[in-house]
Amino acid sequence: MEHYFIDNKNLKSNIKKNTVIINNLEFTFFTDNGLFSKRGLDYGTKVLLENFDFGEKRSFLDVGCGCGPIGIFIAKYSTNNIVDMIDINQKAVDLCKKSIEYNKLSNISVFKSNGYENVKKKYDGIVINPPIHAGKKVVYDIIKNAINYLNENGEVWIVIRKDQGAKSLIEDMKDIYNFQIIKRDNGFYIIKSTI
Ligand SMILES: C[S@@+](CC[C@H](N)C(=O)[O-])C[C@H]1O[C@@H](n2cnc3c(N)ncnc32)[C@H](O)[C@@H]1O
């Protein structure tokens, strides 16, 4: 089985336009074969966006952006929000560029990065729908290292399923973060993490 985080150039492209409404905000993002949520907005991502609290946060990093629904939503929510999106997969990065252009957003950019290797800034909010299929080490590295890219009073928001290790993640990282479970929905946990 091919994983969505492996850039498979032989896969036939089938770009689809998805327009969704979350909390009265309409936005469009493109999906394609070989990428996570190729059939449209992932349920866990939807629950995350529905429950995301912008608070005083203004700068955001969407880690493992895939087709970009999280970053696009945040950028569209307010032009005062500044958003970076990163993904290891160049195809995801290219498709996000198309979605940014389509939504006519100038407060968001996307670039390729394996973990945080190309990230140079700090952010008020880091949002992660982790690549479970990449394995526990990758997931844990992404979540643990987020701390190094957070502004003071910054928050890390995570969506993870209970059966994909939500509870053990909270237990394993309790010395790093204070966790608050914001929402439980159909096995998905929306977790806010602060330092
Ligand atoms: C579960 S998907 C989430 C996609 C999108 N954020 C969403 O909610 O629809 C995880 C994403 O992480 C990316 N990814 C996997 N390993 C990564 C790594 N080491 N660094 C950055 N991104 C990675 C995958 O390519 C994939 O797009």
pLDDT (0 to 100) of residue 160: 97
pLDDT (0 to 100) of residue 7: 62
Query: Which residues in 70-147 belong to E strands, given as ranges?
Result: 82-87, 108-112, 123-128
Q: What is the CATH number of the domain that holds 169?
A: 3.40.50.150
pLDDT (0 to 100) of residue 100: 98
With cut-offs at 50, 70 and 90, classify the pLDDT of residue 1.
very low
Q: What is the CA radius of gyration of the chain?
A: 15
- Classify residue 7: in a domain, yes or no: no
- Classify residue 5: in a domain, yes or no: no
Report the phi/psi class of residue 23: left, alpha or beta, with left for phi > 0 and alpha for psi in -120 to 50: left
Ligand 1 near 158 CB (within 6 A): no
Q: What mean pLDDT, rounded, does the chain reach?
A: 95
Total domains in the chain come to 1
Asked if residue 80 has pLDDT above 60, the reply is yes
- Classify residue 153: in a domain, yes or no: yes
- Classify residue 91: in a domain, yes or no: yes
Q: Which residue, by CA, sits nearest to atom 12 of ligand 1?
A: 64
pTM of the model: 0.96
* Centre of ligand 1 from the C-alpha of residue 76, in Å: 21
Asked whether 154 and 16 are in contact (CB, 8 A), the reply is no
Asked if residue 187 has pLDDT above 60, the reply is yes
Q: Which residue, by CA, sits nearest to atom 10 of ligand 1?
A: 131
- Classify residue 114: in a domain, yes or no: yes
Q: How many CB atoms lie within 10 A of CB 62?
A: 29
The token duo for 12 is: 């036939």
Ligand 1 near 40 CB (within 6 A): no
**pLDDT, average across residues 105-121:** 98
Which of 4, 6, 36, 85 gets mutated to test ligand 1 (max ligand atoms within 8 A of its CB)?
Answer: 36
Asked if residue 66 has pLDDT above 90, the reply is yes
Structural domain containing residue 61: 31-194
Tens digits of residue pLDDT in 140-174: 999 999 999 999 999 999 999 999 999 999 999 99
**pLDDT, average across residues 124-136:** 96
* Centre of ligand 1 from the C-alpha of residue 87, in Å: 6
